């Protein structure tokens, strides 16, 4: 069986390399892509959209319809993850672990029992090993604001430098994942509950698709941002630049929320209670 697999792998790999021989050379100016499509973007991006980063304008303006469905794909990934993994039924023999803060003693409370509600000396901890993590908590508390500001910079500065909604959204989501790792999953869920994240997933896609609808309402084509000039009170070229920014913000919100949902659902195996 292994031998058959190896022979198949080598044969298919060889076929792949044989097919790749027909590709034009890397950076070949005579290749079809470089001789018809790319020159238009390179020559017209500045006069059409006022965006110095050609990749951003192609992604969010010229090929905006593709990018919208990329966002929908990410949204679907988050929703499917919730549908597949989320469990609402709590297991039968569930005992919870608490730490008595003044003494540092760990106690286990069986199902039915509970710690005094009015006492704030008890801290709920995971049933796996939970060390005192003062250094990790303090470090992540210091780093997280800078990560988030950098994420917002990546989204907002995508017109001029590499970056945009996808990258900024992932970095923002990573800051929330860092928060969940540095503190614990329950604290992160209290800050970014599943209702909030599910709403933000949908909101991001809605902002993107809604921008296209506004363009239709302003008697233009779908996602043709220069119609937004009437709303912004600017010339059509600047309006396209602004339209790209709005769409990137939508993508960023959706990606950030989906990354949070994926992490929280995967690491807690759908129970959204204990996890990494």
- Residue closer to another protein by CB (options 39, 113) is 39
CB of 181 to another protein, least distance (A): 8
- Residue closer to another protein by CB (options 64, 163) is 163
CB of 60 to another protein, least distance (A): 12
Return the SS3 of 234.
coil
**Assigned token pair, 49:** 């959209």
Closest CA to 140 of 186, 172, 176: 176
- Residue closer to another protein by CB (options 50, 267) is 267
Q: Is 276 exposed, middle or buried (0-12, 13-18, 19+ CB in 10 A)?
A: middle
CA-to-CA distance for 231 and 73, rounded, in angstroms?
Answer: 30
Give me the residues that bind another protein (CB under 8 A), please.
26, 53, 55-56, 59, 154, 162-164, 166-167, 170-171, 173-174, 177, 181, 259, 262-263, 266-267, 269, 275-276
Please name the residue that has the structure tokens 């709920």: 124
Bridge partners, 107 (sequence order): 98
Phi-psi region of 123 (alpha: psi -120 to 50; beta: other; left: phi over 0): beta
- Residue closer to another protein by CB (options 227, 248) is 248
Report whether 133 contacts 140 (CB < 8 A): no
CB of 70 to another protein, least distance (A): 11
CB of 235 to another protein, least distance (A): 27
174 φ, ψ (degrees, to nearest 5): -65, -35
Q: How many helices (H) and strands (E) does the chain have?
A: 11, 3
CB of 168 to another protein, least distance (A): 9
- Residue closer to another protein by CB (options 239, 259) is 259
- Residue closer to another protein by CB (options 173, 220) is 173
- Strand ranges (E), the chain: 96-100, 105-109, 122-125
Q: What does the angle CA 245 – CA 177 – CA 89 come to, to the nearest 5 degrees?
A: 115
CB of 200 to another protein, least distance (A): 16
CB of 163 to another protein, least distance (A): 6
- Residue closer to another protein by CB (options 216, 269) is 269
């Amino acid at each position: 069986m292994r031998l058959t697999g190896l022979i198949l792998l080598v044969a298919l790999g060889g076929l792949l390399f044989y097919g790749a021989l027909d590709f034009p050379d890397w950076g070949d100016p005579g290749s079809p892509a470089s001789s018809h499509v790319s020159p238009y973007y390179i020559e017209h991006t500045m006069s059409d959209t006022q965006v110095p980063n050609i990749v951003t304008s192609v992604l969010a303006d010229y090929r905006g319809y593709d990018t919208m469905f990329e966002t929908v794909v990410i949204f679907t990934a988050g929703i499917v993850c919730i549908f597949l993994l989320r469990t609402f039924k709590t297991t039968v023999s569930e005992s919870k672990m608490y730490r008595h803060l003044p003494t540092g003693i760990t106690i286990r409370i069986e199902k039915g029992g509970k710690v005094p509600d009015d006492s704030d000396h008890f801290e709920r901890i995971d049933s796996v090993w939970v060390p005192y993590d003062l250094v990790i908590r303090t470090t992540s508390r210091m780093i997280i604001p800078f990560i988030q500001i950098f994420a917002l910079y990546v989204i907002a500065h995508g017109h001029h430098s590499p970056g945009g909604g996808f990258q900024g959204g992932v970095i923002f989501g990573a800051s929330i994942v860092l928060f969940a790792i540095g503190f614990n999953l329950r604290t992160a869920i209290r800050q970014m509950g599943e209702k909030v994240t599910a709403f933000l997933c949908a909101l991001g896609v809605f902002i993107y698709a809604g921008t296209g609808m506004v363009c239709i309402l302003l008697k233009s084509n779908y996602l043709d941002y220069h119609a937004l000039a009437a709303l912004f009170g600017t010339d059509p070229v600047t309006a396209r630049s602004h339209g790209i920014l709005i769409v990137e913000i939508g993508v960023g919100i959706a990606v950030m929320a989906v990354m949070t949902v994926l992490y929280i659902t995967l690491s807690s195996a759908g129970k959204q209670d204990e996890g990494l």
